[in-house]
Structure 1
Amino acid sequence: MISNTSTLPDNPEELKALIEQLQSSHLAELEKLKGRQEAEVHLLQEQVRHLYDKLFGRKSEKSRYGDKSPQLSLFDMPEPDPDARAEEALEVKQHTRRRGKRKPLPDNLPRVDIVHDIDEQEKICHCGSALNRIGEEVSEKLDIIPAVIQVVRHIRPKYSCKQCENAAENGPTVKMAPAPAQLLPKAIASGGLMAHILTAKFADSLPFYRQEQQFFRLGADIPRATMSRWAMRVAEACLPLKNLLRQQILAGPLINGDETTVQVLKEPGKAATSKSYMWVFRGGLPGAPALYFHYHQTRATDVAAEFLDGYKGVVQTDGYAGYDFLDEKQDIIHLGCLAHARRKFKEAQKARGKNSKKSGAPDMALKYIKALYHLEKKAKAQNLSAEELQDLRQAEAKPILDNMYAWLVKKSTHVVPKSLLGKAVTYTLNQWDRLNAYIDYPFATPDNNLAENAIRPFCVGRKNWLFAGTPAGAEASATIYSLIESAKANRLEPYKYLRYLFEQLPFAAAVDDYRKLMPSNLTPEILEEAPKVSSV
């Protein structure tokens, strides 16, 4: 705007040119302002669609329709037309869905035979001859017997000498068998009961207060506080096994790490609503996996650094900055998680909205990632050796990664940095050295799902029991989770493993005794054949 009219030119032509110049300048500024506002509106709309998807969308990253038809998000569905007539129906091509065959019941389950026979008089033919049995028809029904609580009485007869009883100088001689070795000597809980309680909570996510109600219905009064004390004493007895799990993990060529939050009510120096963390590390020699859960008050770098102190090998994590110190370790190769990069592109894909193009940049990135996973699936199906897998990755995965990197670099110059797509591109480029390094290590996978799958049962359980009462309780939970998840990783049934462990643990004295009780040193056959020591 011109504030001083005395500076205006007297020539009408010059005045007209000045006005046109000012108009052009104002229009250019308005166009820039409009562009910035439209970009901001687009970002805000994208954020709204992203939040809607977080609240109401499918949690799985897998597309429901594959590549043939894009998934419709909840916020992409058209609004219902109140004036639409009921007779306007959508024609759907008819199809017939075949019902799958029922799987046979497992052979290892006990069978109870109930014979439904005809009366004796009906076994006589109309001609007067006796009927011969030529076969039978068998139908199987699955039944269940509810849990039965029993009391195991430990009886130790006493013996004495009557002659010595009369001799006052020697006193009576009394003999009896020594007390049986027990996991919890002064508690009423046997090893089988403790295995049942801990499996219910830490494998089936059933809190102690719900188990208290179940036991009451079965006729036993076991308060939740009592179960909690038992669990902490059992965890303390299992600490030598947990230390062996850590040694086993550090002896392997690959360690996967992850962490999640946990709330501890009575934590010194912190509010009851504050967050603490449960860390998990997975590793071990091939064929003998081990998991180690570790409770700590913080998410600091020192936690992972302390656990990995002295380790030489490959460590795979997500993009959390607390793991950046691994890049500076000369004896450690730091791998990233391709699943996290895929997740960010998936979020950008879902947040595009219904007015976006059918195929966009997120789809292109997801196609690259899908091709990499398809290659891993093919290698697994072919059961390739380590050398063959490494050769396959170098020949086929490396070109895909090179093309994807070139595409990401080019795309980074065109996307809005604050958009979901911009964040996905930036994250992937920042993590690129970690993401593509897996092709050189056949024992590694493209992602950190081994650790995420290991910590998922803890997250599911956290939704039920909500919090830990004390730091000691959180540490006990970490020990028991370590044992149960290690057993599952070695294809052992958790209850059978814990029962076997608790029955044998009182007899362990040396390191070799504890080592024999490690999940990787046991098989399902050993657990089945082991006699149930009811005296423990």
Structure 2
Amino acid sequence: MQALVSLPDPLPEHYDDLRQVALSLRAAYEAELKAKDLQIEVLKYQLIRLKRVHFGAAAERFDPNQLGLFEEDLEADLAAAEIRQAAADLGQPGTPARRRPKRQPLPAHLPRIEHRHDLADCTCGVCGQALTVIGEDIAEQLDVIPARFFVHRHIRPQYACRTCDTVTAAPLPAQPIDKGLPAPGLLAQVLVAKYADHVPLYRQAVIYARQGVFIPRSTQAGWVGACEVLLEPLVERLRDPILGESYLQADETRLPVLAPGTGKTRTGYLWVYRTGPWSPLQAVVFDYAQSRGQTWPKDFLEDFKGTLQIDGYAGYNGVLAREAIVEAGCWAYCRRAFFDVFKATRSPLAAEALRRIGRLYRIEAEARDLDPAARAQLRQERAAPLLADLKTWLEDVLLKLPPASGLAQAVGYTLGRWPALLVDLQDGRIHIDTNPVERRLRGVAVGRRNDLFAGSPSGGRRAALLYSLIETCKLNGVEPYAYLKDVLTRLPSLPARDLDDLLPWRWRPRL
């Protein structure tokens, strides 16, 4: 370590002078150590944030899917051990039976296949008299038939006129792909598997081949492209009602796209816009863009007027500059910044900030089921005093922090967005954070890991289109496969004036 104060040459001989030199050196070393400690803290904070972006989950808690993997193996181990123990205890008296959790009843809509097991001889084995039926013992097991293929045969009788030698037959029903092999159900299966279950087309080809049906990936890709053309007008109708709302949440995520002719990928983005979680209209729309610049949301939200809730990314500044737009902030993003600092440094001040923000979330839990007016009133009565106290505390803390520290950055971010963070006090429609729209991006993250990248910008736009329909189905409690199968059946012959009836929140299955 290089000293900040050089030694005098020659060294002083008097004790007091030497002591003064030593104290100066000590102060210099302490200052340098403090500066290096601060630099290490900043680097730890940046490293944790980078790991979250590139490798980790967005939530500040243990990933439930990871915990589920542990529980699955634990339950399997327990079951295997119990079976072995039961076999070892067979025939030994006094072995206690395992208390099993109460089984949930099987859904009533599932078809039942009955298997009757009767006695071969209905006479009493003790006295020889005839037995009488006094009831039935019914046990149910759940079974499944893997997805199976079948063939639709369209048979059209040919009619001829002997007078004029004309031949007539009934027309074939309109199909999603004219003269194509796949029926609507198969097309829906391919789309749902790829965009809802995140199974790439090449894996689907392997799955189908196990059943003796060979559908190359290129063939499936052609079907997906044809469905894109058919579904595109419907997604255009999806966009207009969303932009007609007066409150939207927005977020964005990266989508690697293969750059043609280079063998490398470049970063595209999916921008997502969602109606408020308490809005009567539950819908979400994705927009593919080739960058993360301001142009994309500015163009997409050109006709939108109202409150836009975001996490503070500067890419929305072009939208927020309009007088018709009110910005709402995200407390989850503020909390995440303090959590990263606490994880890196175990700072008591970061822990205190997390505790104070946690009190706001406890109030939100109580307000979840209230109507907007009652929710706003509860926030004004209970959250507003906490927020005023939090702001004062953050301002005092900021004065004591080195400007470059991670904690100072977290505090500065929160105070810098303070007006946007208070918007929900007056408007009960506004959520405390942007987590509802972030949840719509979870499927994109899974698909990104499985597919690795989109094959082209057109693939990115196609993904945006299908994600829009599937995620809107989920918001409205609509099963995506049933929806897409029915929509793909009806679209080829549906008049344009009836297209709105197929929007997920208006769609009803045909009986």
Q: Normalising by structure 1, report the TM-score.
A: 0.81
Q: Secondary structure at the match of 1:519?
A: coil
Q: What's the % identity of the aligned pairs?
A: 37
2:501 is aligned to 516
Change (3 A) 1:229 1:39: same
Do residues 441 (structure 1) and 427 (structure 2) align?
Answer: yes
Correspondence 1:299-338 to 2 at 5 A: 299-338=292-331
Correspondence 1:140-159 to 2 at 5 A: 140-159=140-159
1:178 is aligned to 171
Do residues 378 (structure 1) and 371 (structure 2) align?
Answer: no
Do residues 349 (structure 1) and 366 (structure 2) align?
Answer: no
Contact 1:249 1:282 in 2 (8 A): yes
Change (3 A) 1:49 1:134: farther
In the TM superposition, residue 49 of structure 1 has moved relative to its aligned partner by 8.2
1:258 is aligned to 251
2:60 is aligned to 61
In the TM superposition, residue 295 of structure 1 has moved relative to its aligned partner by 0.9
Contact 1:336 1:434 in 2 (8 A): yes
Change (3 A) 1:369 1:499: same
1:363 is aligned to 351
Alpha-carbon distance in structure 2 between the residues aligned to 1:257 and 1:156? 52
Alpha-carbon distance in structure 2 between the residues aligned to 1:113 and 1:43? 72
* Gap runs ≥5 in structure 2: 1-6, 64-97
Contact 2:309 2:328 in 1 (8 A): yes
Correspondence 1:126-165 to 2 at 5 A: 126-164=126-164
Alpha-carbon distance in structure 2 between the residues aligned to 1:399 and 1:98? 50
Q: Secondary structure at the match of 2:198?
A: coil
In the TM superposition, residue 209 of structure 1 has moved relative to its aligned partner by 0.3
In the TM superposition, residue 4 of structure 1 has moved relative to its aligned partner by 9.9
In the TM superposition, residue 59 of structure 1 has moved relative to its aligned partner by 6.8
Contact 2:281 2:505 in 1 (8 A): yes
Correspondence 1:7-406 to 2 at 5 A: 20=16, 23-24=19-20, 27-28=23-24, 30-41=26-37, 43-44=39-40, 47-48=43-44, 51=47, 54=51, 60-62=59-61, 100-119=101-120, 121-124=121-124, 126-164=126-164, 172-266=165-259, 272-283=264-275, 286-352=279-345, 360-380=348-368, 383-406=369-392
Q: 1:477 aligns with which of 442, 457, 463?
A: 463
In the TM superposition, residue 244 of structure 1 has moved relative to its aligned partner by 1.3
Number of matched pairs: 467
Alpha-carbon distance in structure 1 between the residues aligned to 2:56 and 2:148? 43
- Deviations 1:483-508, CA, capped at 9 Å, x for gaps: 10110111111111111111111122
Contact 2:42 2:404 in 1 (8 A): no
In the TM superposition, residue 361 of structure 1 has moved relative to its aligned partner by 0.7
Alpha-carbon distance in structure 1 between the residues aligned to 2:289 and 2:60? 30
Contact 1:50 1:350 in 2 (8 A): no
Change (3 A) 1:140 1:2: closer
Q: Secondary structure at the match of 2:140?
A: coil
Q: Secondary structure at the match of 1:259?
A: strand
2:78 is aligned to none
- Equivalent AA in structure 2 for residue 134 of structure 1: I
Q: Secondary structure at the match of 1:521?
A: coil
1:454 is aligned to 440
- Equivalent AA in structure 1 for residue 505 of structure 2: S
In the TM superposition, residue 60 of structure 1 has moved relative to its aligned partner by 4.3
Contact 1:46 1:352 in 2 (8 A): no
Change (3 A) 1:45 1:498: same
In the TM superposition, residue 101 of structure 1 has moved relative to its aligned partner by 2.9
In the TM superposition, residue 45 of structure 1 has moved relative to its aligned partner by 5.7
- Equivalent AA in structure 2 for residue 391 of structure 1: Q
Change (3 A) 1:510 1:259: same
Change (3 A) 1:45 1:255: closer
1:83 is aligned to none
Contact 1:278 1:293 in 2 (8 A): yes
- Equivalent AA in structure 1 for residue 290 of structure 2: Q
Q: Secondary structure at the match of 2:375?
A: helix
Q: Secondary structure at the match of 1:206?
A: coil
Measured on the aligned residues, the alpha-carbon RMSD in Å equals 2.8
- Deviations 1:347-384, CA, capped at 9 Å, x for gaps: 1111225xx7xxx111111111111111111112xx32
- Deviations 1:426-469, CA, capped at 9 Å, x for gaps: 21112222122122221111111121101111111110011111
In the TM superposition, residue 32 of structure 1 has moved relative to its aligned partner by 3.6
Alpha-carbon distance in structure 1 between the residues aligned to 2:260 and 2:386? 49
- Deviations 1:69-95, CA, capped at 9 Å, x for gaps: xxxxxxxxxxxxxxxxxxxxxxxxxxx
Alpha-carbon distance in structure 1 between the residues aligned to 2:33 and 2:43? 15
Contact 1:262 1:277 in 2 (8 A): yes
Alpha-carbon distance in structure 2 between the residues aligned to 1:261 and 1:57? 14
In the TM superposition, residue 110 of structure 1 has moved relative to its aligned partner by 1.4
Change (3 A) 1:446 1:297: same
1:492 is aligned to 478
Change (3 A) 1:57 1:27: farther
Moved more, 208-217 or 136-145: 136-145
Change (3 A) 1:276 1:98: farther
Change (3 A) 1:26 1:161: same
Alpha-carbon distance in structure 2 between the residues aligned to 1:389 and 1:192? 44
Alpha-carbon distance in structure 2 between the residues aligned to 1:217 and 1:253? 50
Q: Secondary structure at the match of 1:274?
A: strand
- Equivalent AA in structure 2 for residue 420 of structure 1: G
Alpha-carbon distance in structure 2 between the residues aligned to 1:414 and 1:43? 17
Contact 1:326 1:334 in 2 (8 A): no
Alpha-carbon distance in structure 2 between the residues aligned to 1:328 and 1:99? 61
Change (3 A) 1:47 1:98: farther
Moved more, 255-264 or 101-110: 101-110
Moved more, 212-221 or 155-164: 155-164
2:89 is aligned to none
Change (3 A) 1:427 1:304: same
1:81 is aligned to none
In the TM superposition, residue 36 of structure 1 has moved relative to its aligned partner by 2.9
